[in-house]
Structure 1
Amino acid sequence: MAVEGGLKLVKYLVFFFNFIFWLCGLALIVIGVLVQISLHNTLMIKDASGSGAPILLIALGVIVFLISFFGCCGAWKENFCMITMFALLMSLIIIAEIAVTIVGYIYRGKVTDVVKDSLADMISNYNTSSPEFRDTVDKLQHDLKCCGVNSSADWRGFSPEGNTVPDSCCITVTQGCGEGTMSDASKVYQKGCQEAVEAILQENVKWIIVAALVIAVLQILGVVFACLLMRGIRSGYEVM
């Protein structure tokens, strides 16, 4: 009777962990979509490699979402085959997450190149682009309190005299405030946007790492409890 009660608890734990995984999968999908929108609409990153991370998040979220739903059904119905399949697939997901983390660490320098190239494109295309495009660039510089890629000097091709920056570079934005003030630190931000964008990305990466570690621990516990439930079902104990 004690064994039966223990297995009943394991069954509910497996169901609970799968429900958490289901929510995590849904969260990964939403985060992936938001990151994709932010990269291409806010930063206007055109490099295809810039879409790698959000697409990977969305794909991983869909997979975890489906596997977790599968595991929930298996635990609730006490189906040995479904729980075994869940444990196997979740183990593969954990291995894949470890591999992705290693690859991401190896190619972490690529982020700097993508951000730099995208910001350079935004500056070079500023004068010839649509008002919506310019508004996006202006909002980025105004919100991040930055100017150019590495410094305000990156805007030297903005006007014929080479000493004018967009008004969004100004500390206090007024009409025409950027005219002839490129190197005036009292009126124009001198810090480049690359540094500001990378600082935001690094801060977000810290939270992503923390979330990934928490999810990984939960996934491992879920697999362990699933294996315990599999052993109990296979041994012929009835789980109510």
Structure 2
Amino acid sequence: MESSISLALAAQVALRRRMDVVANNIANANTTGFKLEAQIVQRLDQPVGDTDVAYPLDRGSYTDLRPGPITVTGNPLDVAVVGDALLAVQTPQGSRLTRDGRMTRAADGTLADLSGHAVTAAGGGTIQIPEQAREITIASDGTVTADGEEVGQIGLFAIPSDLQREADGLFSGSGAPVPATDATLQQGALEQANVQPITELVDMMEVQRGYERVQRLLDGEDERIRKLVERAVRV
């Protein structure tokens, strides 16, 4: 009895966590470079009365790194990563990785992301865009040319095995970023989120129904215990 209640409560915790994950995916369905988060769930079958009930137990989550669709923007400072690689930016917390290729020229000429973090060049360092530059070209290997003069190369870095999701579309990993060997950039384009909103909405409804089923089981157990106590008192 107590184990069934404990499992039911654990299932509710897992379902609530799953709802948070799904809601965050839906909220970021239009976020450039966003990667779907997926929950790791363990199914545990437990008899409740004459019925076997499958309880979902939360075992964490992982990032789905499958590529999202690429949209052409025509902005010369937009780039889409093609292949298994990430861009790197320099934040106050250290080097961070991202698939968000929206870039801009900071006030001091540094090539940066929209949050002002300097984009890391291949081999480290930053890239400076001359103030008077009129035509900026970014080659598939990341080489940046301003008015025909090469000014640097955007780094493409391998996806670390211990990739950790952070806020604002950033990721972290242990150690220094390692150059990627099989990836390119597409100038004037952006990778969209790899979220399928319809699928996530269906998942959200399933989570809600699952939560309600578990709550009914808990209510039934509570009623059964109450009746047992009443009978014991009468005896």
- The TM-score normalised by the length of structure 1 is 0.31
More strand by share: 2
